[in-house]
Amino acid sequence: MRDLLLGPRRYSDLSNALKGITSNLLTARLKQLCESGLVEKKTTTGSFPVEAYHLTSLGEEIEPVIMELAQFGNKLPMPDQTELRGDLRWLVLNLKYRYCNTGQPLCLNLNIGDSCFGLTLGESRLLIRDREFNSPVAELTCSHKNMYEWAFGKTHLAKILKQEKIAFNGDQKSLNVLLAAFPEE
């Protein structure tokens, strides 16, 4: 379910992300989740219909539980950064712990190497999607290493921006909203 927190995923996406899971086990788990009303399988419309799994409104209620488990995991010794390279989605989800609701909305793209995530700073929570926005108000670009340091609280966003380890593209108001949403602890 954690892999669906950033939006719909095709079966192949889930299979590739969940290293070591057999096809039979993944199929059985998805079937159970669908029967439980936590996950739904939908076919997109268009010239190339694609089946994808997504969380239902009931399934979305699991997010705080998953995030609490991740917060507990953050207390444990972290693996070498190279082990996390394939798990950028999990890394980006850690930003939810750093987020402080300011009530000021902002839509931006977060570029990490070849991957792009859409972040929406909302009135109630931080929404993260594993796709870019077509017209973001701002954009952050960073390396995997700097994202790791920010997401796991090894350093603060303001500090790595000042050191120019993360590039920001946007206006001053957007930067102020972003910095307020991820304050130094």
| Domain spans of the chain, in order of start | 2-60, 63-181
- Tokens 């991820």 — which residue? 182
* 74 within 8 A of 93, measured Cβ to Cβ: no
Work out the angle at residue 87's Cα, subtended by the Cα atoms of residues 10 and 12, and round it to the nearest 5 degrees. 20
Task: Return d(Cα 120, Cα 135) in angstroms, integer.
Answer: 12
pTM for the predicted model, two decimal places: 0.75
At 156, which amino acid appears? Answer: H
Burial 79-106 (b: 16+ CB within 10 A, else e): eeeeebeeebbbbbbbbbebbeebeeeb
Just give the CATH number of 63-181.
3.30.1050.10
* 148 within 8 A of 79, measured Cβ to Cβ: no
Given this model, what pLDDT does residue 82 score?
A: 46
Given this model, what pLDDT does residue 166 score?
A: 92
Q: Is 88 helix (H, G, I), strand (E, B) or coil?
A: helix
Work out the angle at residue 139's Cα, subtended by the Cα atoms of residues 164 and 171, and round it to the nearest 5 degrees. 85
In CATH terms, the fold of domain 2-60 is Arc Repressor Mutant, subunit A (1.10.10)
Over the chain (185 residues), the average pLDDT of each successive run of 10 is 86 86 94 96 84 93 86 70 61 85 91 91 84 89 88 86 92 93 84
Task: Return d(Cα 94, Cα 92) in angstroms, integer.
Answer: 5
Given this model, what pLDDT does residue 85 score?
A: 47
Task: Return d(Cα 65, Cα 81) in angstroms, integer.
Answer: 25
Given this model, what pLDDT does residue 83 score?
A: 53
Residue from 106, 128, 105, 125 nearest 117 by CA: 128
